[in-house]
Amino acid sequence: MIMTPEQIAHREKTIEQYIRSYVSLIKESDKVEVVINATEAARSIVALYDRYAEEIIRPSINPNIITSFRIVANTELAILRVRPFENIDRSKEKSINARLAFYVALRILIEWHSFKEDDVNDLLNDDFELRAFVSEHYKWLFLLDTTKQYPVFSNAQIWRLFYYLIRDRTKIINM
């Protein structure tokens, strides 16, 4: 089931908003000046996402349903593949794109499952095990070469696990 033009436009706008939000965050926290065409980056990310969803994901699953975890995983990997931020220093480029990929993926997960963003942020700041989990995932994103591998199914399982960790720990916070 290919996305309709309306769905594509909505997804592009959402990804563009996440990119703009991320740029504001890194300018503020890292004191880094970045230039990016967020609209064009979002278009490229959604186009790649849609292509992989139709060519790889949907034909490989039964029933032919893409879960929130596959959406998050495919979006994260599409960002790494598109590399919307370019930098002469390849390490900085990989780092900023890996951080963007995780940031966007987490935003999608939070919104999709209606988590309270403050609760998730508190967990990410206070829970050592969760921070370690995120740190290892970030390192994996940094090292992953999506031109050679595009592990959407295993990444979806990582996001499923992350979801359960957040869900279980936010229940404790809200008790």
Query: How confident is the model over 24-33, as pLDDT tens digits?
Result: 888 777 666 6
| Nearest residue to 146 via CA among 56, 33, 11 | 56
Matching residue, tokens 């959402």: 14
Tens digits of residue pLDDT in 153-171: 999 999 999 999 999 988 7
Question: Which domain covers residue 152, as residue numbers?
Answer: 5-173
* Residue 50: burial class (beta carbons within 10 Å; 0-12, 13-18, 19+): middle
Mean pLDDT across the chain: 90
| Tokens encoding 132 | 């370690």
Question: How remote is the C-alpha of 136 from its chain's centroid?
Answer: 15
**What global pTM score does this model have?**
0.91
Number of domains in the chain: 1
pLDDT digits (tens, 9 = 90+) for 98-155: 999 999 999 999 999 999 999 999 999 999 989 999 999 999 999 999 999 999 999 9
The whole-angstrom separation of Cα 42 and Cα 39 is 5
